[in-house]
Amino acid sequence: MWAPTCIHGGFNADFVTEIKRAVQIPVIMVGRFTEPYYAELMVKEGRTDLVAFGRQSIADPELPIKAFRGEMESLTPCIACLQGCVANMFQGNPIECLVNPRTGREAELKAAAVKKKVLVIGGGVGGLYAAYVAALRGHEVTLCEKKVVLGGNMRLAAYPPGKGDIVGMVRNYIVLCQKANVTLLTGIEVTKEYIEVNAPDAVIVATGASPLVLPIPGIRDSSILSGDDVLSGEVQCGQKVLVVGGGMVGSELAAFLGEAEHEVTVIELRDKIGADVISEHRKYLMKDFSDYNITTITGAKVSEIHKDGVSYTLEDGTRNCINGFDSVVLAMGYRNYNPFGEDVDKLAKEVYVIGDAVKARRALDATREAYEAAKNI
């Protein structure tokens, strides 16, 4: 049993306390613990004899020594994503960890033979982890992020209900970079000219992805909002909202708006809402849909976008139209963003493109590729 992100450490504390009262043998509890203090309290209060850390020991096997030394800010938290560990185990593959790509490869990293000047472009989790590992190996690393905040799309991922713990990963990666002496520069959009002036030996392009804008009539109207902007709070929705796209981002955005008491409808091409959401998470997401009375239209291909709704065709060919919404928000997926195009390989002697800049996927891919790139410089 693996609790997903929305379930917090100690969720079973009351049950364990009752078991401890009822039995005369030692009790070991387990379940979504990520830091030692709550666990220690459970033992001190006599509610359990031991607390086991499962996935947290994969996310950061140095937890005991970090806790002993009081270095909790450098602890990498398990975000309970279930993507790297459990998913791989079920497929019979070696386990991985989204927040700790060194899982199972702990002895692999070697100090760099030649110290190089490394420029990392993009401060999402891919860029941050690549910068950290490169610096750990002894390189002189600068990371530039065009926004004023670090974290990229995983910052946005933390806004929907139950996903707040994701921000712990971003926070920790920033701390790891700071401790490894990475120079972190925000508000700097790297261009070819910037690279020419700074002349790095190696460049890691971790520029992420941008929202997909499909060629649908009306989609570029200025009144149509982007899901990213809504999540980040850059724009506000009206009361009655239509979310176009019901994959992971669209369905979590709908829950986010539902929690904020908007009246939400989601329209999705596939016949299932949140089809790409890990099943343990989807169960809770669907409960949000029910709790917030979110309306869904599935198997619907949007053919035109209006200021207050959309026209669409159902699988049986029926044409339809829904309107009367105060806001229409797009969440139709992402496309890789690499501002250097075909010139990317000419940016420096060594160039690595990683994460969503290659192809929009998940953070597990971004951190894995970040590690591979930084390991090889």
Ligand X SMILES: Cc1cc2nc3c(=O)[nH]c(=O)nc-3n(C[C@H](O)[C@H](O)[C@H](O)COP(=O)(O)OP(=O)(O)OC[C@H]3O[C@@H](n4cnc5c(N)ncnc54)[C@H](O)[C@@H]3O)c2cc1C
Ligand Y SMILES: Cc1cc2nc3c(=O)[nH]c(=O)nc-3n(C[C@H](O)[C@H](O)[C@H](O)COP(=O)(O)O)c2cc1C
- Would you tell me which residues interact with ligand X (CB under 6 A)? 81, 83, 121-127, 144-147, 152-154, 156-157, 189-190, 206-209, 231, 249, 339, 355-357, 361-364, 366
- Closest CB to ligand Y among 85 and 98? 85
Beta strands in the chain (DSSP E): 28-30, 50-52, 117-121, 140-145, 183-186, 202-205, 209-211, 225-226, 240-244, 263-267, 295-297, 300-306, 309-314, 319-322, 327-330, 334-336, 350-353
Site string (27-66) toward ligand SF4, x via CB under 6 A: ----------------------------x--xx-------
**Residue type, position 244, single letter:** V
Q: How far is the CB of 222 from ligand X (least distance, A)?
A: 22
Identity of residue 59 = A
Complex with ligand X: residue 29 or 81, whichever CB lies closer: 81
Q: Which of 51, 98, 119, 205 lies at the binding interface for ligand SF4 (CB under 6 A)?
A: 98
Handedness of CA 88, 94, 95, 101 (dihedral sign): negative
Tokens of 296: 């869904």
Which residues here bind ligand Y, judged by CB under 6 A? 2-3, 30-33, 53-56, 85-86, 89, 95
- H-helix or E-strand containing 179? helix 166-179
Give least dist CB 302 to ligand Y, A. 39
Give the separation between CA 367 and CA 97, rounded to whole angstroms: 9
Q: Which of ligand Y, ligand SF4, ligand X, none sits in contact with 172, Cβ below 5 to 8 A by type?
A: none
- The 3-state DSSP class for residue 269 equals coil
> Could you give the 3-state DSSP secondary structure of residue 324?
coil
Q: Quote the CA–CA distance of 142 and 120 in Å, as a whole number.
A: 6
Q: Minimum CB separation from ligand SF4 for residue 286, in Å?
A: 20
> Residue 97 interacts with ligand SF4 (CB under 6 A)?
yes
Provide the minimum distance between the beta carbon of 303 and ligand Y in the complex, in angstroms, as a whole number.
44
Contacts of 165 (CB under 8 A, 6+ apart): 5, 8, 34, 77, 79, 80, 158
Q: Are strands 295-297 and 350-353 parallel, antiparallel or unpaired?
A: unpaired
Smallest gap from Cβ 31 to ligand Y, in A, equals 5
Instruction: Select from 3, 29, 42, 81 the one that contacts ligand SF4 (CB under 6 A).
Output: 81
97 interacts with, out of ligand Y, ligand X, ligand SF4, none, CB within 5 to 8 A per kind: ligand SF4
Q: Report the residue from 29, 63, 82, 302 that binds ligand SF4 according to the rule CB under 6 A.
A: 82
* Min separation Cβ 90 and ligand Y, Å: 9
Contact call for residue 204 and ligand SF4 (CB under 6 A) = no
Of the pair 85, 190, the CB lying nearest ligand X is at: 190
Count of C-beta atoms within a 10 Å radius of residue 22: 8
For the chain, state the CA radius of gyration: 23
Q: Which is nearer to ligand Y, 32 or 282 (CB)?
A: 32
Q: Which is nearer to ligand SF4, 36 or 309 (CB)?
A: 36
How many CB atoms are closer than 10 A to CB 95? Answer: 14
* Position 278 contacts ligand SF4 (CB under 6 A): no
Residue 361 binding: pick among ligand X, ligand SF4, ligand Y, none (C-beta 5-8 Å cut-off by kind): ligand X
Minimum distance from CB of 123 to ligand X (Å)? 5
Closer residue to ligand X in complex, CB, 192/349: 192
Contact 48, 20 (CB under 8 A): yes
Distance in Å, CB of 88 to ligand Y, minimum: 8
Q: Find the binding residues for ligand SF4 in span 313-372 (CB under 6 A).
A: none
Binding to ligand SF4 by residue 154, rule CB under 6 A?
Answer: no
CA 68 to chain centre: 29
Q: How far apart are CA 95 and CA 86, in angstroms?
A: 7
d(CA 140, CA 252): 39
Contacting positions for ligand SF4 (CB under 6 A): 55, 58-59, 78-85, 97-99
